[in-house]
Structure formats: C-alpha cells, structure tokens
Amino acid sequence: MTRRLSMAPQHSEREPAFSYLSRVAARYGVPTRDFAADMGLSFSRIIDGDPKDITALAELTDTEAARLLVWSPKYLGNRNHYFRGHVMHAKAIKESSVRGCPDCLREDFENGASAPEHSPFIRGEWLFRPITLCAKHNRPLSSLWQVSAQQDRYDVASRMVEIAPAIASGELDHETREPTKFDIWVADRVAGRSTGIWLDQFSLYPAAHFCELFGRALWTVRIPKSQKFAPEEAHLAFWLGFKFAKDGESGVRLGLSSLQEFEGGPTDGPKKKFGDLYDRLTFDLTNEDYAPFRNLLRDHILKTWPLGPGDDLMGEPVLTRHLHSVLTASREYGIDSRRLRKLLVTAGVVRAVEQGRSDAWELFTPEEAEPVLSRLETLVSATDLQDALLISRTHFESLRKDGYFAPTLEGPEHKPLWDLREARSFIDGLLQGAEPVYVPMHSWAYLSDAAIRLKVSPGTIVRLVEERRLHRVGKHVSRDGFSAILVTLDEVERLLDRPTTPGISIQVFAKQCGLKDIYLRRLVRMAHIPSTEGRNPKTGAKQRFLSTEDIEAFYARFITLRDLAVEHGMNWQALRHELAKRGIAPFSPDGEDYGAVFERDTITL
C-alpha cells in the first residue's frame, strides 16, 4: 500500500512540483533533497519534471498528479523543455534567476503565519521569461534570488526564508504599471487561451522572442544600441515588437520599413540596420520554430533592398539582383546619379528628388528600367573606366598585358573605348559567391596588395579567381569595383606552388572549402582523402598537411554544400531541401558524420 503523508501542506494553484516538494520537506523540517531521497524520490528528477517521480509525490501527499504536472517544466534533453503545451529552450524557462511578485509573496507569508500549508510558493507562469508582470497585482516581477546550482535554486522554502525580510520591507518592489497588450497576450497563451491573432499560429516562445528582438531593434530609433534595459523595463522591448507583430506580416513589414527609413543607407547593410534581430535569426536561431520569422525578414530585405552579386543576405551570397536603387544603378552603369535620376523620372520609373526618397533608397527593378538603361552611353575612356572600377592605372595596364580589359572599340582615329557595363559584369563575376568582409584581418588582403606582396601580376591572381581555383574570395562591404576584391594570401601562395611547407594546414583548408575543422580532420584521419606529413615551420612538430595534389584529390571526389550552392546558383537552404527530396545524403559511411560534404558522383541535379 502506498504511504501517505499526514502533515503534507495543500498544493497551491499553478505551483510547480519542485516548489511543492520543497514546502512539503520544510513542513517536516528536513532538507529537500534528503526528504526526497527518504521518500524514494529524486529532487533533480522533480526539477526536470519527471512524470514518474511527480506522480509518486502526488500519491504521497494525496494530491492530483495532473495539478502538479501541468505547471512543471519537463526536461526533454538538449536544453529543451516542455511547458504549458509548448517546447521551449532553457533560456525561456530555466534562468539562473528566479522571479516573482512581491505582493503575492507577502500574501503568502501572511497566510502561512496562521496556516503553514499556505507558506510562500512559486507560480509556474513566473518561470516563463517573457512574462514580466503579475496579472493579479500589476506588479512587475522582481528577481528574488539568483543561484547557479539547480537544487539550491529550486529549494523554494529555504530561499523564501532568506528573502522574507526583503519581501516584508518592500525592498524588492518595482512600481506597479498597467499591463500592455503583450502582457495580456502572453498570459493568455500560457493559460492555454487562443487570442485569434497572427502570432497564435507559432510556437509560443519563438513568437514572444521574436517580439522582443524586433522591439529591441525598433527601440534603437529612440535609444542607443549600447544602452541596456533595466530589469523593470524589459517589458518595453516585448511591447514594441508586439505592437507591430500582432497585425501580422503587414505590421512586421511596416516596422522593418520604419527602421530602414530612420537613418543611413543600404550600404550600411542589414546587420547594421536590424541589429540583433538580423544577427540572431541569421546565425543562432536557425531551427524550424524560427523559420517563419527568418523567412519573413529575408523576404522583406529582398523586396526592399538593392542587393546584387557580391552582397550577402543572412549568411548566403546574393546571386541575382532583384532591385536597383538610383545609387547602385549609377555605380553599375558609370553615369552620374543626378543625370540618371532625371532620365528615370522622365521615363516614369522613379520619383523626382522632391517627391521621392534619397538616391540610395529610391528603388526600381532592373526590368522596368531596362528601356532607359539600355540606351545609356556606356563607352568610356581608359581614365573614366579606371575611376569607375576604382583600379589604379598601373594595375589596369598590367591587367591589359595579361589579356584583361580589352577595348570594346579602338581605331586609328580615336582613343580606345571600353563598355563600362561589360567591365562591371566582369568584376561582379569575380565577386559572385564572395564572403562579405567588414574589416580585412588575418590573412585577407586586397587583390592589388596581394599581387605586390607575393611579387606576381594582378592578372595572375585574377585568373585564379576567374577559374574558381580560389575557394575563398571576399568582398569588402564598404568598397566597390576592383578595390573591393579580397583574397587570402595563404591560399594564393599555395596555388603559386611556392609553399614553405608540404601544403596548407587542415584548419586553413577547412575555412577555404566551407567545412568545420573537426569534419575535415575526420576525413583525413579515416583516410577518405590523402594528406601529407610535414613539420610545422614555427614549432617543428610533425603534423598533417594538404598538398596541392591532396586538395585536387579532395575536389575530384567531394564537393561541399557551400560550393555546390554557388555552382548551381541556389541558396544553401533551398539546395539542402532539394538534395533531401532527391534522396541525396551527405557523405556518411558507417553512419559517421563528416558535415555538409557530398561525393560528386552522387549529385544528380
């Protein structure tokens, strides 16, 4: 027969199991983890929401197990938890700081003085980070305590004794405030109520987190990015993001557009405009729960930003231009922006300066402007071409000797003339799939500087880029034309057959081909690709290198997802989906993980 405890306090509404267990243990004057062990339970498993232990606790205390389970986060592994019908990351539900409403706790202390079973307890909704306000008292939640070790953090009865004086004195109180529409929405969602708005269709925490990131980006219009919100002001980011997101995609796009119009131009880049919203969705929040928000941001930028080859969007190279601005068209066609705008205004393609936006943001599609642009005088002199492409006269002449930049027209009666569009198209081709570089560091060098440092002609390096033998080509985001092309000195050096070692290190080649270091080392260790032993030129220690022949053997057999995406002109997410649909899996003999690398003879695109 199951034992039942005669002095167990009553379980309180919305109380997680760990809080209740702590109060039960305190009622018997025994430390929580010791009490749990004596009863055949595990405090750690109760904290993790283990149904078996929680059900056993319910039987011991004559409590309904469902009451305990419904407000107890269940750990699923990989830092994910299940809470109130939603899967959410530990950052959403298991922060090191435990929060609560001082008014609620004061009432608990008063009730507990006469009836121990009503001692202070944690409400389950307080655990959810986006909830910042007590719905009963309109009191912002305060940080009650911050403890790293989980068993100490969730020993609620012990922690309540420590903070009792601060609760009684009002030391932890924040000023009350009226609930925002976000506060009401998130409380309804946690309570299991649908509100019927656009955000309801998404997983709860990703939707709330998106509101927060969006709100922070929108706040930069009013306050500097470096200024942090105080804990009692955290609700402001959620509220402002929700203000736009509650109206669906149109509201989100309206908010994103307002950020673009605030200050600066598209040359600042989406990262600078949208801050953490862009960074987190691009690099960190890449799972499927965030895909709708990531896709919405990407689609908005594609439809409202004059991006072209050589630009980067959310970690992927832009392969095709969808929009021009007066400024980008001016640069591409080598015509003064003022003259170009007048021509486009006459043709009804753009608005006049007085009615429209700045040259950087006055947008149009290449197709609608084609009748105007195709009639532009594009033949220019050598000096004008050099100025337009930002290339020095010395390097221009050197490239001509190597067979590049042949004149479009030349004859005895006039100076040679060049088609600026063809020249720019050539530069764009060199930059196709290039990595965006904000500050050239490490082994990055401008192509012109690399030629000087390696004592070769610029045409020698251009040919390596043109033939796609260089796997790392960069584009300086603040420069245009020839001056924007970056290469890595070590890769060029290797291809010039002047290495100081038997080849390049595995780590360097991993960066060049787009694989993680650990996967490339695994390919070498398992002998799937050849390698060459040599000595490190600095330490003298023996290590494995990849010679030119080793690298050629790698590319003869394998191709990475990054190179395959550039080769087929697709973004890597769409390509990954297409490969999976065709049943083409990454190279993985015996189930070993080698990353996003494929055998060439398995590709049937």
Q: What is the pLDDT of residues 514-529, one digit of tens each?
A: 888 899 999 999 999 9
The domain in which residue 564 lies consists of 506-605
Q: What secondary structure does DSSP assign to 154-214, as a single string?
A: T-HHHHHHHHHHHHHHTTT-----PPPHHHHHHHHHHTT----SGGGGS-HHHHHHHHHHH
Sign of the Cα torsion 364, 365, 369, 374 reads positive
What is the spatial distance between Cα 472 and Cα 370, in angstroms, rounded to a whole number?
A: 33
Mean pLDDT of all residues in 379-390: 87
Res 493: pLDDT: 83
Indicate yes or no: pTM above 0.85: no
Same domain assignment for residues 92 and 133: yes
CB 596, CB 560: distance < 8 Å: yes
pLDDT tens per residue, range 490-503 = 889 888 865 566 77
Phi, psi of 353 (to 5 degrees): -55, -40
Mean pLDDT of all residues in 325-331: 90
Same domain assignment for residues 478 and 569: no
CB 283, CB 294: distance < 8 Å: no
What is the spatial distance between Cα 399 and Cα 448, in angstroms, rounded to a whole number?
A: 11
Of 542, 550, 455, 456, nearest to 512 (Cα)? 550
414-426 core/surface letters (b: 16 or more CB in 10 A; e: else): eebbbbbbebbeb
CB 290, CB 206: distance < 8 Å: yes
Residues in the chain, how many? 605
Q: What secondary structure does DSSP assign to 501-558, as a single string?
A: SSSEEHHHHHHHHT--HHHHHHHHHTTSS--EEEE-TTT--EEEEE-HHHHHHHHHHE
- What is the 3-state secondary structure of 41-75? CCHHHHHCCCHHHHHHHHHHHCCCHHHHHCCCCEE
Res 371: pLDDT: 78
What is the spatial distance between Cα 580 and Cα 300, in angstroms, rounded to a whole number?
A: 27
Same domain assignment for residues 472 and 559: no
What is the spatial distance between Cα 51 and Cα 72, in angstroms, rounded to a whole number?
A: 10
| Domains held by the chain: number | 4
On whether residue 519 sits in a domain, the answer given is yes
Q: What secondary structure does DSSP assign to 356-394, as a single string?
A: S--TTT-EE-HHHHHHHHTTS--EE-HHHHHHHHT--HH
**Identity at 424, one-letter amino acid code:** R
Same domain assignment for residues 64 and 162: yes
Residues above pLDDT 90, as percent of the chain: 54
Residue that is last in its domain, among 114, 149, 169: 169
Task: Put residue 390 in one of left, alpha, beta given phi > 0 → left and psi -120 to 50 → alpha.
Answer: left
Res 491: pLDDT: 87
For strands 473-476 and 435-437, give the pairing. Answer: parallel
Same domain assignment for residues 120 and 255: no
Residue that is last in its domain, among 498, 530, 556: 498
Same domain assignment for residues 453 and 533: no
On whether residue 339 sits in a domain, the answer given is no
Residue that is last in its domain, among 169, 199, 228: 169
On whether residue 324 sits in a domain, the answer given is no
Same domain assignment for residues 385 and 452: yes
Distances (CA, A) of 497 to 444, 459, 492, 515, 542: 19, 16, 9, 24, 21
Residues above pLDDT 70, as percent of the chain: 92
Same domain assignment for residues 23 and 138: yes
Same domain assignment for residues 397 and 445: yes
Same domain assignment for residues 548 and 583: yes
Give the CA radius of gyration of the chain.
31
Position with higher pLDDT, 341 vs 443: 341
pLDDT tens per residue, range 50-81 = 999 999 999 999 999 999 999 999 999 999 99
Can you tell me whether residue 422 is helix, strand or coil? helix
